[in-house]
Structure 1
Amino acid sequence: MSSCSSIVRKPLFWLTSALSLLVSLYGLANVMPAIGDFRLGPFPMVFFRATFFALCVLVVLAGVLDKRETLLPRWISAVAVLLTGGLLWSCWSFYHVSIQLEESMFLFGPQEVWIALLASSGALFFCWRIWGAPVALLGIVGIAYMATGHLWPGPLRTVGGSVEEMLAQNLLYSLDAGILGSTFSVVITTVFPFIILGAVLEGVGAGDSMIRIAFSWMRRTAGGPAHAAVLSSALFGTVSGSAVGNVVGTGVVTIPMIKRRGFTPNFAGAVEAAASTGGQIMPPIMGAAALVMADFVGVSYLTVIVAILVPAIAYYCSLFAMILFETRRLGIKADAGAESELDMPTRQDYLNLLLIFLPLAVIVALLISGLSPSGASISALALLFPLSLINPEVRAKPVKLVKCLCDGGSTFARLLMAIAAVSIVISALSATGVPVKFGILLSSMATDSLMLSLIAAAACCVVLGMGMPTLPAYVTVATIAIPAMQQLGLEPLTAHMFVFLIAVASAITPPVAIAAYAAASISDGRPIATSVQASKVGIMIFIIPFIFAYNPLLLTVEQAGAAFELVPWLWLIAKLVLGIYLLASALTGFDLKKLRLFEIALRLIAVTLLFVPDAGWDMAGIALAAVVCFGHHWCECKNVYSKVFHQ
């Protein structure tokens, strides 16, 4: 049986690789900038959307059938093949109807409705197979509400044209909405080149070098491998942008070593999950949601990079602080001579870092010069291919570069199924007017309370983000909540950044925390306990959005709603550093010694006072923090002095 299955799977593997490579080359050709008078793309919009999506569907089908662990049940394979045929037919119908719409009026009938429903069913099926039930269920609910909204009572009732026209247009036959609509367009033109660049950056061999260097730099700290996990995940995150991919890429090395240093399995998994999740907010290559956000808000990607820089650095500093206090609580000491499975970094390891930082420098430089994000990423990709030859492993096997393109094409095709499901949800929300109704409800619930609005939006992010990739979670919540947030005074960039960070945080938020679950599978910890611990370790990713919502100067760009001034900005950074120290020690329950309950409570109160927007409260917070910390350190110094004196 096994030999027979391997014979079947090998052709499927090669077919998947070939189709994935074709996705990469076709997509890159569409967005490639002109070289002199020569230019391949952009291809005709309707034709490209239909053919590119059809190609991605074939990649996903081949990947679903090419399961290496166990053979799929026959009925799933049969359904996958049938729905693929339906999706290909839908792509042809989309192209045919769109051409007719350009030339004359077109009346949608039952045939177009059934084709649109067939396309939606296929997209949701593959989304369910790849990303799990939550995203697919949201799409099903959206379709059901779109079809029956005119029958619902009171404010839930929808108004509009015929159900047939609503379903056909909003599910498939529109360049602005539906599976092949505007969200699809943003992703294939802006996000796609970065996905390919990230795949190549991961595959050229710098990842292992980064881990060895991080362990070398952190070997003299008490946290040792835990600090190295944070540093390597931060570096890896500049490339990856995927929380689960980051956990798998670095966690297999870091988590066992964190456990051997004396940390619990739950804490080891939590550190890796929290650090890997932060990779999605680490410039310059963040998660796909950051690229989509720049397009939604109407600002340059460089503006997004500058705005997220301080929150990202603050988040990683908070992880270092949480590990520091945990080592003190457990009594773990620095052990530079501890055995390590990793060799010391060599000259080649440091040379390999050029494969990461030179392309990233090119991206930043080109963005500053005014080039589009896709043009900057393709230019970095063009530099990376010849530059990768400095790695002897790539020189020995140049076919690795082709494999990187295959991996990138496959990754994007899988992501596109989630985007298709979310596009259905967005279309349902737009067509039925839910965002407007939600905004009215939110405004009536909290007429003048920005805090209640932010809490409601954050809760919405966490609930909708359960089990979802960050991009679908961000896009869905942004469609619902951001109009109401803007009504309460937030600038578009600040509101979108708030939703973006909370959507990123959903990867470690129980009960469905995909990054924490991936880490728990490596650490042998309990999934729920690991996700709870990860939420505590990464607590600042939940708090920082509330800080810049009330203090937009933290984002350092004028588009956030506050003109940049150096002295107030430095004062805000100083308060942020103090807040990280107070919060990390309070949540760990340890500073120089174990904290008593009233000390923990006073530290938490001081953190809250630091960031209350009304004048004077921050000074009260600093005064309280000074009293609490001075008292704690004074008592500990007295104890140490007393012990030394008696000896």
Structure 2
Amino acid sequence: MSNRIIAWPLALLSLVVTLYGLANVMPAIGDFRIGPFDMVFFRGSFFALCAVVVMLSVLGRSDGSFQHRLISLVAVICTLGLLWSSWSFYQISSKLDEAMFLFGPAEMWLALIAAGGSLFFCWRIWGVPVALLGIFGILYMATGHHWPGILQTVEMDMAETLAQNLLYSLDSGILGSTFSIVITTVFPFIILGAVLEGVGAGDSMIRIAFSCMRHTAGGPAHAAVLSSGLFGTVSGSAVGNVVGTGVVTIPMIKRRGFTPNFAGAVEAAASTGGQIMPPIMGAAALVMADFVGVSYLTIIIAVLVPAIAYYGSLFAMIVFESRRLGIKVDANEDNGVGQPTRQDYLNLLLIFAPLGLIVVLLIMGLSPSGASISALALLFPLSFINPAVREKPIKLIQALCGGGRTFSQLLMAIAAVSIVISALSVTGVPLKFGILLGSLVSDSLLLSLVIAAFCCIILGMGMPTLPAYVTVATIAIPAMLQLGLEPLTAHMFVFFIAVASAITPPVALAAFAAASISGGGPVGTSVQASKVGVMIFAIPFAFAFNPLLLTVDSAGVEFSLVAWLWLLVKLVVGILLVATALTGFDKRKLNLVEILVRLAAACFLLAPGMFMDPIGVALTVVALVWHRRADCKVFRLKVAD
């Protein structure tokens, strides 16, 4: 089917999804209120609208081949099934508060149709891993009583179990509590991010970043980190960030003298970090606030130091890689994007004014959705300071359409995750996993964290951050809480590792996207990205053992300024030690023993315990003195020659 035929209906329906969703979470203005609508009606109707949007997106990808025509036919059938299921959900779920309802085979098959349609679209949009996870959840829910050993579940009525836990419940299933959190909290931020991208400040941000970094040896690589960090906090998508900024930054990083793999790795690592950069971050952070039961402002404060530390580590890796390759400063290099103009600096208001308003409103006590809608209301008139928007105001409508389309696609992944959560909940897997983990690791928090991190990376392969975070949080966090972690710290740990899965081989979506631009190898780029962004794996362990790093009392430690500052000093030194060790270069090339000493020093500095700090400090002093003396010796030999 022609893309041109699909484009207008898709845009129009995406706009309807956006306006309908915003109307539901719109705060009251005096006595005037649009939403929230009746919850059962809104969930069913909103999901139905999103299903049609996703169907049109799938049809728009068709190239006319037999395979694509078959996929298009299945997409239409699945959409009809989802519409029918949404109507049935409204008819039945609205009566559950009034009287008991006995679910039979008809409701079971409708629930399976809803699950099958959602997983089909999830496969088409997000790939096989997410869809397979949902299929596994359904199979386990239906056949768990036949599984051996600890995996065996209590036998239940299949029709009632599948119907209620897949579809007909406001607490579990496709339209359950996770769905509610996403549409009331995450949705406004996704629309705000889409509009922030659409108002055209991205190019200005890149030009300013290149101008600021022109006097550094890393040049374009540092600019990529800076621009991707700013752009990422708006988009909240690692792959979208790579595509949005990487097409400009990666070729320039290569021209400066870095390898294609390193160029792609820097962009992938920087883009991935955008999901942990306040104030917007990714959708998972908004869900985490609801799961933990703290304000979103608390999440922002808690993640601030780790996020800055991560981006600081990227800058450090680039500095020492530049030294290793002998790359010098070239302030006169043509960066290909031109010098920033007055309008570029003015366009930054389009980014910082809405983000600043969000922070102020959160401090004043407004809800995240209310703050994001207020920022959206500010952004619309403010966007006209950009001549491109004044010339084509339709860009704002197009941005709203893009936001609705993006969210509709995300909702299919949420449907798959909701199926998994329901399967885990009804079968008691989190409790069993907690007991099993407790018996395996006894009181070892480190081993528990390593297992949780491994599970998160495995489940996160090929998945968006939000599904990976929610799935692992459901399974692993109860066990982590048993070992003494506070809920905020445990959830933040899982959140960071879920974000890191975007650059973790063998399936690293952000790294693969960067490799397609840089011309490097996908696996090589993902390995290099894991090395460049290694602190995104290390920092979660650091704040798990030192919760003071998260700054807030909810992390489980009373704030102490002196202890906090000392922790920051250790973190900075640890980052520099790791950066030099992994690049194998400081003032000169490091040998294997020096590398191992530096890595050991970093580990001791960030590990808890009375005797860890002195050992870490001693090893750091040994490493630096050793390196300085050896460097002076090399210098004297060169002078003598």
CA distance in 2, matches of 1:30, 1:160: 40
- Does the 8 Å contact 2:26/2:34 carry over to 1? yes
CA distance in 2, matches of 1:607, 1:151: 49
Q: State the partner residue of 1:273.
A: 268
Q: State the partner residue of 2:47.
A: 53
CA distance in 2, matches of 1:86, 1:589: 58
The runs of 5 or more residues in structure 2 that have no matched partner are: none
Note if 1:115 corresponds to 2:118: no
Q: State the partner residue of 1:78.
A: 73
Distance apart, 1:69 and its partner CA? 6.0
Note if 1:23 corresponds to 2:23: no
In the TM superposition, structure 1's runs of 4+ consecutive aligned residues that sit over 3 Å from their partners are 68-72, 641-644
Note if 1:450 corresponds to 2:440: no
Q: State the partner residue of 2:213.
A: 218
CA distance in 2, matches of 1:153, 1:553: 43
Q: State the partner residue of 2:28.
A: 34
For 1:12, the aligned partner's letter is: I
Note if 1:613 corresponds to 2:608: yes
CA distance in 2, matches of 1:341, 1:390: 25
> After superposition, where does 1:203-352 map in structure 2 within 5 Å?
203-352=198-347
- Could you tell me which of 187, 190, 196 is aligned with 2:185? 190
Kindly tell me: are residues 69 and 545 of structure 1, through their superposed partners in 2, closer, same or farther at Cα, counting changes over 3 Å? farther
Q: State the partner residue of 1:139.
A: 134
- Could you tell me which of 541, 544, 547 is aligned with 2:542? 547
CA distance in 2, matches of 1:423, 1:90: 16
CA deviations on 1:304-329 (whole Å, 9 max, x unpaired) are 00000000000000000001110111
- Does the 8 Å contact 2:246/2:517 carry over to 1? yes
Note if 1:505 corresponds to 2:516: no
For 2:151, the aligned partner's letter is: L
CA distance in 1, matches of 2:124, 2:180: 23
The runs of 5 or more residues in structure 1 that have no matched partner are: none
For 2:386, the aligned partner's letter is: N
Moved more, 339-348 or 182-191: 339-348
CA distance in 2, matches of 1:356, 1:266: 31
Partner-residue secondary structure (3-state), 1:336: coil
Distance apart, 1:612 and its partner CA? 2.1
- Could you tell me which of 486, 492, 499 is aligned with 1:491? 486
Note if 1:478 corresponds to 2:473: yes
Q: State the partner residue of 1:459.
A: 454
Note if 1:532 corresponds to 2:527: yes
For 2:217, the aligned partner's letter is: A
CA distance in 1, matches of 2:68, 2:25: 39
Q: State the partner residue of 1:126.
A: 121
TM-score (normalizing by structure 2): 0.99
Partner-residue secondary structure (3-state), 2:301: helix
Distance apart, 1:154 and its partner CA? 2.5
Moved more, 277-286 or 93-102: 93-102
CA deviations on 1:49-79 (whole Å, 9 max, x unpaired) are 0000000000000010011766562211111
RMSD, aligned CA: 1.0
- Could you tell me which of 157, 165, 181 is aligned with 1:162? 157
Q: State the partner residue of 2:146.
A: 151
Distance apart, 1:634 and its partner CA? 2.4
For 1:38, the aligned partner's letter is: F
> After superposition, where does 1:358-507 map in structure 2 within 5 Å?
358-507=353-502
Partner-residue secondary structure (3-state), 1:105: coil
CA distance in 1, matches of 2:69, 2:219: 49
Partner-residue secondary structure (3-state), 1:102: coil
Distance apart, 1:441 and its partner CA? 0.3
Q: State the partner residue of 2:619.
A: 624
Distance apart, 1:100 and its partner CA? 2.1
Distance apart, 1:161 and its partner CA? 3.3
Note if 1:11 corresponds to 2:5: yes
CA distance in 2, matches of 1:56, 1:255: 35
Partner-residue secondary structure (3-state), 1:73: helix
Partner-residue secondary structure (3-state), 2:97: helix
CA distance in 2, matches of 1:70, 1:11: 13
Q: State the partner residue of 2:555.
A: 560
TM-score (normalizing by structure 1): 0.98
Distance apart, 1:256 and its partner CA? 0.3
CA distance in 1, matches of 2:211, 2:365: 38
Distance apart, 1:619 and its partner CA? 1.4
Partner-residue secondary structure (3-state), 2:235: coil
For 2:538, the aligned partner's letter is: I
CA deviations on 1:217-257 (whole Å, 9 max, x unpaired) are 10111001001000101111121110000000000000000
Q: State the partner residue of 1:201.
A: 196
Note if 1:516 corresponds to 2:511: yes
- Could you tell me which of 566, 582, 590 is aligned with 1:571? 566
Distance apart, 1:160 and its partner CA? 5.4
- Does the 8 Å contact 2:62/2:69 carry over to 1? no
Distance apart, 1:339 and its partner CA? 2.0
For 2:290, the aligned partner's letter is: D
Distance apart, 1:641 and its partner CA? 4.4
Partner-residue secondary structure (3-state), 2:321: helix
Q: State the partner residue of 2:175.
A: 180
CA distance in 2, matches of 1:226, 1:409: 33
CA deviations on 1:133-164 (whole Å, 9 max, x unpaired) are 00000100110010001122222111153111
For 1:50, the aligned partner's letter is: G
CA distance in 2, matches of 1:247, 1:46: 38
Note if 1:62 corresponds to 2:62: no
CA distance in 1, matches of 2:633, 2:204: 46
For 1:112, the aligned partner's letter is: E
Partner-residue secondary structure (3-state), 1:339: coil
**Number of aligned residue pairs:** 640
Partner-residue secondary structure (3-state), 1:101: coil
For 2:594, the aligned partner's letter is: E
Partner-residue secondary structure (3-state), 1:340: coil
CA distance in 2, matches of 1:632, 1:211: 37
Distance apart, 1:638 and its partner CA? 3.6
CA deviations on 1:445-464 (whole Å, 9 max, x unpaired) are 01110011000000000000
- Could you tell me which of 596, 600, 604 is aligned with 2:595? 600
Partner-residue secondary structure (3-state), 1:179: coil
Report the identity percentage: 74
CA distance in 2, matches of 1:538, 1:238: 17
CA distance in 2, matches of 1:40, 1:537: 48
Distance apart, 1:104 and its partner CA? 1.3
CA distance in 1, matches of 2:583, 2:517: 24
CA deviations on 1:557-587 (whole Å, 9 max, x unpaired) are 0000111100000000000000000000000
